Amino acid sequence: VLAASMVLGPAAGYAGPPYLTDDPEPVEFGHWEVYLATQYFVTRGFATGAAPLTDINCGAWPGLQLHFMGQLIYARPSGGPTSYGVGDTEIGAKIRLVSEGDRLPLISTYPLLDFPTGDEAHQLGTGRVHGFVPLWVQKSFGPWTTYGGGGLWINPGAGNRNSWYAGWQAQRRLASYATVGGEVFYLTPGQPGAKANFGFNVGLVLDLSDVHHLLFSAGRSMVGDNVFQGYAAYQLTL
């Protein structure tokens, strides 16, 4: 259930690719970021993921980014048949509240809505509209950038309850073409009796040019049922 909710719920598309924790920097006005990605979650007894996932972001106004994500989902319970089809659809808007200065961090909010376009009966969708309301902060120091925060998942439906996500990431640019980083995150249960999830990811971003990029991350839970989570993407910046 946890793996499915992380793929199908508001955190469905990696928030700040290639990480679950989002960065607060909106896409520049008049520019686009497009991701073609795949992601996987494996638990004891269940595997789910998006293949492919399309994440489109545009700088609609200075300090405002509009977001759309569509995906094809697979769900494979242990000992059961694999289902594959259209997953839930996500839209959102990243809004810069405070610009980064010498002392001030960059602060943004990034509310998201997920719409139930996936087949709930085959575990390809949640069957409900979900929302995520976060606050993200970021500060840069030379080759280092660190960001994090969290927010509330609004999780309607019988047997569900709202939950909280919190995460923090740090990354370092090693060269003009390579950045490495890592994150830790915590997710409270979205269903009575479910376990909280405390995990980590390590990531790599390769800048092939100003336009073409490759992104990778992988990790697992230290507390909770996820035994593996992974993400890989091609990013086009226009």
Could you give the CA distance from residue 6 to residue 29 in angstroms, rounded to a whole number?
A: 30
pLDDT of residue 92: 97
pLDDT of residue 107: 98
Q: CA 148 from chain center: how many Å?
A: 12
- Asked if 58 and 27 count as a contact pair (C-beta separation under 8 A), the reply is yes
pLDDT of residue 13: 42
- Asked if 54 and 234 count as a contact pair (C-beta separation under 8 A), the reply is no
**What would the two tokens of residue 50 be?**
């998006």
pLDDT of residue 10: 37
Structure pTM? 0.90
pLDDT of residue 15: 58
Distances (CA, A) of 139 to 29, 190, 231: 21, 31, 25
pLDDT of residue 26: 97
For 110-157, the DSSP string reads: --EEEE--S-GGGTS--SS-EEEEEEEEEEEETTEEEEEEEEEEE--S
Cis omega (within 30 of 0) for bond into 52: yes
Low-confidence ranges of the chain (pLDDT < 70): 1-15
Strand partners, 129: none
Q: What is the DSSP letter of 63?
A: T
pLDDT of residue 7: 46
CB atoms near residue 176 (< 10 Å):
7
Strand partners, 133: 152
pLDDT of residue 225: 80
pLDDT of residue 195: 84
Distances (CA, A) of 150 to 9, 78, 106, 134, 157: 15, 32, 15, 5, 22
Could you give the CA distance from residue 122 to residue 49 in angstroms, rounded to a whole number?
A: 13
For 115, residues 6+ apart whose C-beta sits below 8 A from its C-beta are 88, 89, 90, 91, 129
pLDDT of residue 177: 95
